[in-house]
Structure 1
Amino acid sequence: MNMLIADARKQDMITDEQAAFFLENGFLVIRNALYGEELKLIQDEMMKLYEKGVAGGFSDPDYMYRKGELTGKSVLRRIEYVIDKSDTMKALLAHPYILKSVERLQGNNFIPTWDSMVLKAPNEGIAVEWHRDAGVPGGRIDRPIFNVDFYLDEADLQTCLWVIPGSQKWTKEQAHERCARPGFDTSDAIPVPMQPGDVIFHDIQVLHGSPAGNGNPLRRTVYYEFRPGEIEAEHGPHTLEYLSLKQHVLLDCINRRKQTSYGQAEREFEYKPSGAFAISEPKTPISYRYAHENYVRF
């Protein structure tokens, strides 16, 4: 397929054509979203978290491990709530190109709902089997729920994401049948190689995965999930209180980004939710780690 690619240094948000490509295929690549000082700061901050997790010796539930496929040792694979752990990651949430593009796809009442870093450990990258990130509430929605994947390291054919274009439209039965195939079958998929600072928008329903790798370098990817507020309010899984709390986190992060040297050189994003999601007065967050299990309705 001819893959349409956006470039964050040549436009201030994704175009209508790029938005249409995302809606049709379930993913969109954006080059050069992070660069210079900001990219270096994020890489350094996330390396500190990675090294802390590799050192181990503690029982922090935000650090998640899995048995390595080559050595059988415990391998760090994921770190949750990265915004809580780094001021640089708070500023990243307010990236104006990303937020303008999220708003174009989800509307002005979008909510940041999740933040984590997913890892492929060097020399023992664990395979990520074909999967969907989550189910769609009510079975059908009129706007996409998606992750914004910030790549901090190069992802070549050994470590990159593979996507099955258009599979976000498949039924549960079709997706289950495809995921049940043995091995990491790429016959109907395409690879998405990335460079540090590049971003992928991927629909939570699009089928994706990555091979195990063999002698692979470290690959760190930060995931920020966004959901349309109206859909989250109607279907969940989070409570209405959670949505409000995360709106105030976003506003605080927008203000924090203005204080950075790179934020001062750009036009900030104006978050203007309306209707039931309108904010009369910003509140300083009491936390940047609102544990999902404490705000689930069901």
Structure 2
Amino acid sequence: MSQANHNILIADAKTHTAITEEQAQFFRENGFLIIRNLLENKELQVLQDEMQTLLDRGMSGVEGDNDYQYGKGTKSGGKVLKRIEYVVDKSVPTRALLAHPFVLNSVEKLQGNNFIPTWDSMVIKMPNEGIIVPWHRDAERPVGCADDRPIFNVDFYLDSADIKSCLWVIPGSNLWTIEASKERCSREGFETSDAIPVPLEAGDAILHDITVVHGSPSGDGNALRRTIYFEFRPGEIELEFGPHNREYLSLKQQVLLECIETRKAASYIGNEKPYEYKPSGELSISGTIKPNTFRYPHEEYWIGQ
């Protein structure tokens, strides 16, 4: 599907408290959805400052900490920071961000009330050194899973992303077979005839399904782009198929509850109705326990699939 004949629906966080059903259906069919105006100016500024502190630490060169990941710079060929893992553990404002009510209301609409926050990270394209992200799927859905609720990321843009640094997606590729996505991702170069660019402004976000084929070309004069990623998964799918064990789900539920309280207390948050997390059934919560940490390494709770 070419850019010319693809009609894009866009959600606006200023006018609604969650994505609409029409927008939800667009997301299910296409694997992505743009959200404008998600972050108010004060919250955006706080997050920009916080993430710059982490970025500065990473740029100085962090040894022996795999949370800070590096790649080969496009122009310099040198070691360039490209990703920081577990940002919710490293930044209080990022915890408040995880509890954004528009986001959580929208996640519940798509996944149900038993959703679990799983991954959290920041991906970076350094100025003039934008490292190529080849065409890929983030992951595949569990084999044998008949539950068609989407597993997806919410990508918060702290900086504007123009054609030199933005994400490119192939609409509808979330519905492809594994074989079809592998064939497309195996092609040489960063060919875009069936893809569309997704330029965004600072404060915007995009939902993207883990199975939508996406990527971004190497930068050529690109500006700084910092993007915070949160992944969410339906708890029922996690319970049956993994990849995390039951203990992990309980721990991350407590993290989410604490993040909701953190957002309520944040002085820079405007007038909004806090999200109420009310999981049910096997994933219901009998009480709250203040987390000892906000960093639960995936490998320590991994069961696969």
Q: Shorter-chain TM-score: what band? A: over 0.9
Partner of residue 38, structure 2: 33
Within 5 A, what are the aligned runs for 1:233-244? 233-244=239-250
Which residue identity is paired with 1:189? A
Partner of residue 168, structure 2: 162
Answering whether residue 54 of structure 2 is matched by residue 49 of structure 1, we say yes
Deviations 1:226-270 (A, max 9, x none): 000000110001010000000000000101111012446211000
Partner of residue 296, structure 2: 290
Answering whether residue 117 of structure 2 is matched by residue 130 of structure 1, we say no
Cα distance in 1 for partners of 2:40, 2:12 equals 12
Partner of residue 235, structure 2: 229
Cα offset for 1:215?
A: 1.4
Cα distance in 1 for partners of 2:225, 2:144 equals 33
Deviations 1:156-206 (A, max 9, x none): 000000000000111111001101111100000000000000000000000
Which sits farther off after the overlay, 64-73 or 199-208? 64-73
- Percent of aligned pairs sharing the same letter: 63
Match of 1:103 among 92, 101, 108: 108
Say if 1:279 and 1:57 are closer, same or farther in 2 by CA, change over 3 A: closer
Cα distance in 2 for partners of 1:264, 1:150 equals 18
2:47–2:93 Cα contact (<8 Å) kept = yes
Structure 2: 5+ residue runs without aligned partners? 1-5
1:42–1:89 Cα contact (<8 Å) kept = yes
Cα offset for 1:112?
A: 0.2
Report SS of the residue matched to 2:8: coil
Match of 1:268 among 270, 274, 279: 274
Which sits farther off after the overlay, 79-88 or 49-58? 49-58
Report SS of the residue matched to 2:232: strand
Within 5 A, what are the aligned runs for 1:138-149? 138=143, 140=145, 141-149=147-155
Report SS of the residue matched to 1:137: coil
Partner of residue 87, structure 1: 92
Cα distance in 1 for partners of 2:232, 2:126 equals 26
Cα distance in 2 for partners of 1:31, 1:122 equals 24
Within 5 A, what are the aligned runs for 1:174-253? 174-253=180-259
Partner of residue 72, structure 2: 67
Cα distance in 1 for partners of 2:269, 2:289 equals 21
Report SS of the residue matched to 1:66: strand
Which sits farther off after the overlay, 269-278 or 132-141? 132-141
Which residue identity is paired with 2:177? T
Deviations 1:3-55 (A, max 9, x none): 00000011110000000000010000000000211110000000110111001
Q: TM-score under structure 1 normalisation?
A: 0.98
1:252–1:285 Cα contact (<8 Å) kept = yes
Cα offset for 1:59?
A: 2.1
Q: TM-score under structure 2 normalisation?
A: 0.96
Cα offset for 1:101?
A: 0.2
Partner of residue 115, structure 1: 120
Cα distance in 1 for partners of 2:9, 2:270 equals 30
Say if 1:264 and 1:157 are closer, same or farther in 2 by CA, change over 3 A: closer
Which residue identity is paired with 2:43? E
1:258–1:264 Cα contact (<8 Å) kept = no
Structure 1 runs (4+) deviating above 2 angstroms are 261-264
Cα distance in 2 for partners of 1:214, 1:264 equals 38
Partner of residue 3, structure 2: none
Cα distance in 1 for partners of 2:268, 2:209 equals 29
Cα distance in 2 for partners of 1:184, 1:262 equals 41
Report SS of the residue matched to 1:20: helix
Q: Considering only aligned residues, what root-mean-square deviation do their CA atoms show, in Å?
A: 1.0
Cα distance in 2 for partners of 1:57, 1:4 equals 41
